[in-house]
Amino acid sequence: MVISPRAISPYRGTAWRLVEAQHLVSTLKLVDSLAEQEMLEAALEESKPRLPPECSGLDYLLATPFRYGAAYPYGSRFRRAGKTLGVFYCAEAVETALAEMAFYRLLFFAESPDTPLPANATDYTAFSVALVVERAVDLTHAAMADEGDWRDPVDYADCQALADSARAEGIDVIRYASVRDPGAGANLAVLTCTAFSAPTPTGRQTWKLRVGPGVVQAVCEFPRMSLEFSRTDFAGDPRLG
């Protein structure tokens, strides 16, 4: 896979990622005190695959995608299935991160038609990270337009080959157009945890996502924001079209 030198440049910015807020309290219901929860969390941490040395000292929200040792069950846009190197997926805007999450929530229920829709909204934490790298490749650059299909909604072959080449060339971040975001925002694939310039999230927001028939509604209380995504927003994907 050819990476044009014209599409490679330093990258500095803030990016957003969403996780289910349950990660904060999932073990609390299993214990009688905060001290017991801390012991349980420590035991669970010891049972997990080891982090690469370069991820030492990072908050688990940043480091978790880079845990090795277990096979990655399914390929993703820039990561092959199997025992492969980790990728931290994020977006330049929280709205884009929400569009990605909304798509996958709708896809889950589309592929599991017998699963009842949740009665209540689900809490999510949106957190931001600071990134500073000397070498990032921008797939939206004109020099990369004819080098591969970066926007196919289901076939990731070109993107995975690009990620292999990027790692070989010492590139830390891949910037690419979101296929899911109706607002045409940009996503980032962080290939190494040395890309983080701060060891902890730089900001957090709490979002509630409600999944209804063909729609996802997202509401944040502070700062006050609300978004709605419908199945038609993702009609370009044959699984939802």
pLDDT in tens, 51-66: 889 999 999 999 999 9
Closest CA to 105 of 208, 226, 225: 208
* Average pLDDT score, the chain: 92
**Position 228 pLDDT exceeds 90:** yes
Give CA separation, 42 vs 32, 47, 48, 182, 201, in Å: 16, 9, 10, 41, 21
pLDDT in tens, 150-208: 999 999 999 999 999 999 999 999 999 999 999 999 999 999 999 999 999 999 999 99
What kind and span of H or E run contains 62? Answer: helix 60-63
pLDDT in tens, 98-126: 999 999 999 999 999 999 999 999 999 99
Give CA separation, 116 vs 92, 99, 110, 120, 219, in Å: 33, 22, 11, 12, 22
CA angle 229, 215, 61 (to 5 degrees): 65
pLDDT at 50: 72
pLDDT at 35: 76
pLDDT at 26: 63
Q: Which token pair is 218?
A: 């997202």
φ/ψ of 168, rounded to 5, equals: -65, -30
Q: Which token pair is 37?
A: 């929860």
Residues 6+ apart with CB under 8 A from 170: 135
Beta-strand relationship, 186-190 and 215-220:
unpaired
With a threshold of 0.75, does the pTM exceed it?
yes
Beta strands per DSSP E along 92-121: none
pLDDT in tens, 121-141: 999 999 999 999 999 999 999
User: Residue 27: which pLDDT band, with cuts at 50, 70 and 90?
Assistant: low
Rounded distance, CA 110 to CA 194, Å?
37
User: Residue 37: which pLDDT band, with cuts at 50, 70 and 90?
Assistant: low
Where does residue 82 fall: left (phi above 0), alpha (psi -120 to 50 degrees), or beta otherwise? Answer: left
Q: Which residues pair with 129 in a beta bridge?
A: 15
Q: For the ranges 5-9, 69-73, 171-175, which has the lowest average pLDDT?
A: 69-73
